Each structure stands twice: as structure tokens, then as C-alpha cells.
Structure 1
Amino acid sequence: MSELKDRARAKVNLTLHVLGRRADGYHDLESLVAFADCADGLTLQPGSAFALQVTGPRADACGDLTDNLVAKAARALTERVPQARSGTFLLDKHLPAAAGIGGGSADAAAALRLLARANALAAGDPRLVAAAQAVGADVPVCLLSSGCMMRGAGERVTPMRLPRFPCVLVNPGVPVPTKDVFTAIGLKAGESYTPPGKPADVAWPVASATADTWLAAIGAGRNDLEPVAVKIQPVIADVLSLLRQSNGCTLARMSGSGATCFGLFADDASAAAAVAALRTKHPHWWVEASALS
């Protein structure tokens, strides 16, 4: 079989509402998710044995490859499809790790999509979905890799047709451990959560709604992890301030548990101008112009 290729697109949580903490200890979430054009690249040369090689500007951040989520995804599928063909993966790493944009989860999901193609598995094969759930909470949504609503602990994913949003992604290069963020919220098992002074629900538009209607709905939402993450890493507030001050920025918010923030822009030109300005002012930050959908 010839070489297979896929893209592991960055995940962006346009909203992230914490509804409570379940009896099993997991937090119950509702998140409108989009995916960016910027991505890692993943190639599979199908074969009998699994192997992983990593290249790219962020290859050094991948650490021990036996613990990489691509390897975990391959093992998870093999456990459910024992005769599944594996092969040699080449990961071209560009997205920052542990940054709130699901870089590793997107890599794992891309690996599962490639293995599904190599083994003639349908995209909705329950074994494929189960493998995604076993690897990590963000992997099922990254398996879809398009606009959707993610609920529960990430296991319930509903496709949502979103308009295209020009955007800028910024990561200041500081760690924000997800566990620390959720711990700081301080919910006990079985306890619900409503942020002070903010609505619990958002009325989401129909799929045919205009971009402005969607933007208004997204703006009415929030990321409940953002205030907590800012306390852990105050530089996140600086990133958000700079994005909001950029010409053409219509909304700025943190993605996931941070530290990556996104700004939605009126057009691609204003997004590109913001990237140029931010890179000049903060050359060590990861700053990318992209588009969400």
C-alpha cells in the first residue's frame, strides 16, 4: 500500500463552559470547538510493525516517543482490532505542546484516521471511536477535526457547521498544567458550577446563520478556565490585551486550559497585520495567522 498523509489541525475552544464535576471525578463540559488551518503533518507507510519518527521545528518537545499519543493511538486501535495493519509514522511537528490547542490529541486523531484508511475502517466504526476515547478526552473531537459541540468529558461530539473565521493564534511559551487549572476551580464530585454573574446557557444559531450571528453567540459565551489560568500565568492577560488592541479583532479569548489565546478578525488582511506586529514585539512567542472552521 502506498504512503498515506493527513493533517493534525489545531483545536480551538471558541467557548468552554464548565457545568460541574461528575461523580466519577471528571468535569462535565460544554464547548464549541473549531479547527485551525495550522497543523502538524502526519504520514503513514503501512506495514506490519509500528514505528514513529518525528521531524519539524518542534520535534524536540515531543519527548519519549514510546509515550507519544500517536503511539498510544496505534496501540489502542490494535487492542480493539487485533489484526489491524500498522506501519511507520512520520510526524512533522509544528504545533506547541500542552498549549490548549490539542496538538498531541490532534496527532493521535490523525493517526487513527490514517490507520482507518489503511485498514478500510469506516470513519464511524465504533472501535475507532472507542480507541479515540481511550487515548484522551480531546481525541474524539479531534477525530472529527471540524466544527462541533463537545460535551461531557469529551465523549459526546455533535457536528456543527461553522462559518470561516480569520484568526490569530498566540502562545507565549509558558506552561499551564490542565490538572492545576481544574483543581483551582475547586469543584467536588457531584457539584455543579455556574460562574458568578454570567448566563449558564447560550442560544446557538442554526447552521445557515451569518458569521455575525455566530460571532454574537460566541461572544455571549465564555471560557470558564480563562480566569483561573490567568492567575496561574498572568502573561495570558497580556496576550489577550494585545489581541484586543489589534485593528480588526472582533473577539479574543483563551483556548482550552491555555496558554494559547485566539483572536477572531474581520478579515485575513487585519489578521496578517496583527501577526506581523505581535512577532515584532514578542519574537519568542508562537504567533500564527490562520482560519477557523
Structure 2
Amino acid sequence: MATDLPPTFPDCTVTEFAPAKINLTLHVTGQRADGYHLLDSLVVFADVGDRVTVRAAKALALTITGPQAAALPVTDDNLVLRAARLMQGHAAITLEKALPVSSGIGGGSADAAATLRALARLMDLPLPEDSAVLRLGADVPVCLLGRAVRMQGVGERLTPVPDLPQAWLVLVNPGVAVATPEVFRRLASKDNPAMPPQISPFPTLEGFVACLQTMRNDMEDAATAIAPVIGAVRSALSAQPGCLLSRMSGSGATCFGLFAAQDSARAAARAIQSAQPRWWVAPARMLS
């Protein structure tokens, strides 16, 4: 899809990584009068993700490649194109899609954020105002920040957290797309307790996991009612040696297992992929 526009920047190419966003916790704490839900979430990122490459061109165009490209046809409302229009960027954009679509790990939002960063570098321009970024989607601001943070409100309140212990993740998606609006509609309660007021430093991974176990993902039960396979994914993760915690990320259907060591995470990923070859499985280092 292309729109004829004059070139506005030098002839060069910029590539940005779009890491998967993981909601280690996700508390739904209310709903505004305009329908937007209020959230309280501890967000981290993983070293697996998509890649966005932008190149100077006479027209704005998007090409999608990669193992998940077939699930994401190019349409005018693609978040990458919306982000490019926000930057008034005239570029040939290639999205290498590795993350599953509509999977609760912020793929589209991460792609939009990577597009903003890439075009800002290419055009030597500042990033858009926070309010404009938020209009692209609730997860785009946190993906633009790209580091561990507490996300509150409708995604506009981002608070740094202390350095988190080193950990590894195994991400598993069963190939089922779960619509976020439907999950919100099925919530048993939309006015749940928030996370603790302060997130303290964690000198050990064990202490960090113990704290996470006192929190939750308020969307998990509703998402599992829509897609019962989410329960099977969590069970498969929990059964792996070395898995310290398993939980759904975002509105699903991707779930994560938290591991202390790279070897145990990779072994778990191999075991799950062998048992369920049609599932998307990826071991990843947690980025904090």
C-alpha cells in the first residue's frame, strides 16, 4: 500500500527492534465514563520480537515479511502506517513479523513504537508528544519507552521500577487470537485492587517471584473462558522443570513461564514445542 508523497529526508536505511511486551501483572482497577479501562501493570520486555526497517522513498509504503506475515495483511489502519503518518514520514517500510498477531504481547504496539523511533532517527526529528503517541494505542507509550516500568491509568502513567533480577522467559501462544474487547466485556469485576503502592528492589529472583505470586492478571479467567486452551498452555509451562511462575500476558492468549536459568528455559521451550508443534514457542531473556 503506497501513497505518493515527496521525499523529505536523506537516502539511508534505519532498522529498529520491536521487542515483545510482557505483562508480568495486570490489574484492572476501574473503568472511565468514556469506556476506557484503568490498569495497573508491571511491564517488562523480552529479547524476541519484530524488526522495522525504514528507507527513504518517494511514497509511504509497507511490506510485511517474516514467519508471521501471512497472519497480518497490509491494511490502511495498520499501526505501522498510522505511526508513520503521525511522523509525516515518507518511507518504504519493511516489517519483519516474528511475533504472533493479537497475542497479548504488544506486537502491533511494539511495531508502531519501533516505527516512530526509526523515522525519528531517519528524519532527525524528535518523537511525537506523549498525547499523540497514546492515541495510537494504550500500549504504544510503554513500548516506546522499552524498559521495565509500572504502567497505570489507560497507559499514560509510566513509573520507573527498581532494577529487576536477571531472569529468562518462555513465551507460548497456542495459535488462537483473543479479542481484547471481548475479554473486557466478560470480566467478572472491573473494579479490582491495585498493585502495592510501592515496588521495592528485589535482591533475589526468589523474592521477586514471591512478590509476583501475590499479584495477578485480572483478564486471565475471562480470556480462558473464551479460549480454554490458555489453561492448557499454563499447565504445560508450570509442568516444566525450573518454571518459577506461569501466567497469561495482556489479554492473551500468550502465556509466559519465568525461569532462573537460560538452559532450563531453552529445555522447557524444546519440550513444549515437541509436544505441541503447532504452538508458537520462544525462549527469551527478560529485559529490564
* TM-score between both structures, scaled by the size of structure 1: 0.89
Corresponding residue of 2:178: 176
Measured against aligned partners, the alpha-carbon deviations of 1:254-290 in whole angstroms (never above 9, x if no partner) come to: 0000000000012111111111110111000000000
* Equivalence for 2:61: 51
Is the CA contact (8 Å cut-off) linking 1:112 and 1:128 kept in structure 2?
no
Q: Distance in 2 between matches of 1:44 and 1:207?
A: 38
- SS of residue matched to 1:10: strand
SS at match of 1:290: strand
Q: Which amino acid aligns with 2:16?
A: D
Correspondences of 1:53-68 after superposition (within 5 Å): 53-68=63-78
Q: Which residue is 1:228 aligned to?
A: 222
Q: Secondary structure at the match of 2:186?
A: helix
Residue 207 of structure 2 corresponds to: 213
Alignment of 1:97-246 (within 5 A): 97-122=101-126, 125=127, 127-160=128-161, 161-185=163-187, 193-194=191-192, 200-202=194-196, 204-207=198-201, 209-246=203-240
In structure 1, list runs of 5 or more residues that go unmatched: 79-84
Moved over 3 A (4+): 203-210
Distance of 2:15 and 2:164 partners within structure 1: 25
Tell me, what secondary structure is at the counterpart of 1:50? strand
For 1:137-173, what per-residue CA distance to the aligned partner results, in whole angstroms no more than 9, with x for missing partners? Answer: 1111111111111111111222323333201000001
| CA deviation map 1:81-117 (0-9, x unaligned) | xxxx431111111100000001111100000011111
Aligned residue pairs, count:
276
Question: 2-side partners of 1:247 and 1:131: how far apart?
Answer: 44
CA distance, structure 2, for counterparts of residue 203 and residue 183 of structure 1: 27
Contact 2:246 2:255 in 1 (8 A): yes
CA displacement at 1:206 relative to structure 2? 3.3
Tell me which residue corresponds to 1:87.
Answer: 91
1:186 Cα offset (Å) = 5.8
Is the partner of 2:168 in helix, strand or coil? strand
Distance in 1 between the 2:206 and 2:57 partners?
Answer: 48
Deviations 1:182-211 (A, max 9, x none): 011166xxxx612xxxx6433654346433
> Counterpart of 1:134 in structure 2: which amino acid?
R
Determine which of 263, 266, 284 is the counterpart of 1:269. Answer: 263
- The verdict on how the C-alpha distance between 1:213 and 1:237 changes in structure 2, with shifts beyond 3 A counting, is same
Structure 2: stretches of 5+ with no match in the other structure: 1-9
- Measure how far apart 1:133 and its partner are: 0.9
What SS does the aligned partner of 2:237 have?
A: helix
Other-structure match for 2:44: 34
- Aligned equivalents of 1:28, 1:137: Cα separation in 2: 10
Match of 2:282 in 1: 288
- The answer to which structure has the higher helix fraction is 1
Q: Relative to structure 2, which stretch is displaced further, 128-137 or 5-14?
A: 128-137
- The residue number in structure 1 matching 2:6 is none
Superposition TM-score, scaled by structure 2 size: 0.90
